[in-house]
Structure 1
Amino acid sequence: MTKRNRIIYWVATLWLALGMLSTGVAQLVNAKEGQGGVDMITHEGYPVYLLPLLGICKILGVVAVLIPGFRLVKEWAYAGFFFIMSGAIFSHIASGDSISSILPALLLLVLTMVSWYFRPESRKHSFVNQ
C-alpha cells in the first residue's frame, strides 16, 4: 500500500468514525430526551424506537472498523454503514427534504466507500476459499 493510499484511508476512516460516532451518540441521547432526533425520524415516517437501534449499530460499527483484526466483522460494519446512509438519503428524498438535509448522509456514504476502497490488505477479508 502506497503512502498516499494509507493517508487517504486514515483520513476517510477517521472522519467516518467521527461522523458515525457523533450521530450514533446523538441518536441514543435524543431517543431518551425526545428532542431533535425524534422530530427528524418521525418526519421521515419512522418510529422513534429505531433511534437507539441506529445509535448502537453506528457505535458498534465504528468500533469494528477501527480495531485491528476481525476482518469479516469490518466488512459487515461497512455494509451496515452503506445501507444506513443509503436509506437515510432515500428517506430524505422521499420526504421532499432539501438538498442541505441530504448532504450529511451523502458525505458519510462517500466516506464509507472511500474508507472501504482504500483499506489496507490487513483489514480486508478474503471471500475466496472460505
Structure 2
Amino acid sequence: MNTQKSIYLITLGLFTLAILGSIVNSIINYDEVAATFIKLGYPIYLIHLLGVFQFIGLLLIIINKTYWILEWVYAGFFMNLVLGAIAHLAIKDGNGAAAVICTILLFLTYILGKKVRNYEDEKNQRKSFYTPYKVT
C-alpha cells in the first residue's frame, strides 16, 4: 500500500471518528445539545436529522461508488461544518475549533481520495452521466 493511500485512510478514519463522536454526543447529551440548538435558534428536530444524514454521508464516503454522489456528500459535510462554526461564532458559544479541524480533515479526505482513486475512471463516469442518450 502506498503512502498516499495510507494517509487517505488515516484521515478518513479520523474524520469518521469525529463525525461518529458528534452523533454519539448528540444521543448521550441530548438535553445539552437541545439547549444549544434552542440558543442558536434552530428547531430541536434538526438534531435527529443531522445525525441520520451525517451517518448516511459517512457510509456513502466509505462505500465510494459514484462520483457525483460523493461530490454532493462532501458538499453537504462542508456546508454543515462551516455553517455550524459560523453559528457558534455568531452567538459566542465557543470558537468552533472542532468544526475547523473536521473541515480540514474533510478537505484532506477529499483531495487525497481523488488522488487515490483512478481519476480517469471518474472523468469517464462523469462524461457518461452528463451525456444525453442518443435516440435512434
Query: Among residues 63, 67, 73, which one is paired with 2:69 in the alignment?
Result: 73
Instruction: Indicate the residue corresponding to 1:118 in structure 2.
Output: 112
In the alignment of these two chains, the number of paired residues is: 124
Structure 2 unaligned blocks of 5 or more: 131-136
- Partner residue in 1 for 2:34: 38
CA distance in structure 2 between the aligned counterparts of 1:81 and 1:125, rounded to whole angstroms: 21
1:9 corresponds to: 8
Q: Do the aligned partners of residues 63 and 106 (structure 1) sit closer, same or farther apart at CA in structure 2, a change above 3 Å counting? A: same
Q: Structure 1: which 5+ runs fail to align?
A: none
* Aligned pair partner of 2:99 in 97, 105, 125: 105
Q: CA RMSD in A?
A: 2.3
Identity rate of aligned residues, in percent? 22
- Secondary structure at the aligned position of 1:55 is classed as helix
Structure 1 moving runs of 4+ over 6 Å:
none
Residue of 74, 82, 85 corresponding to 1:86:
82
Which of the pair has more CA radius of gyration?
A: 2
Cα drift, residue 128 of structure 1? 4.9
CA contact (8 A) 1:13 1:111 kept: yes
- 2:21 is aligned to 22
**Which residue, 51, 64, 70 being the options, matches 2:47?**
51
Instruction: State the distance in 1 between where 2:126 and 2:66 align.
Output: 16
Q: Taking structure 2 as the reference length, what is the TM-score of the superposition?
A: 0.79
Distance 2:94 2:98 in 1: 12
Question: Using a 3 Å threshold, how does the CA distance of structure 1 residues 34 and 115 change in structure 2: closer, same or farther?
Answer: closer
- Quote the offset at 1:26 in angstroms: 3.2
Contact 1:72 1:125 in 2 (8 A): no
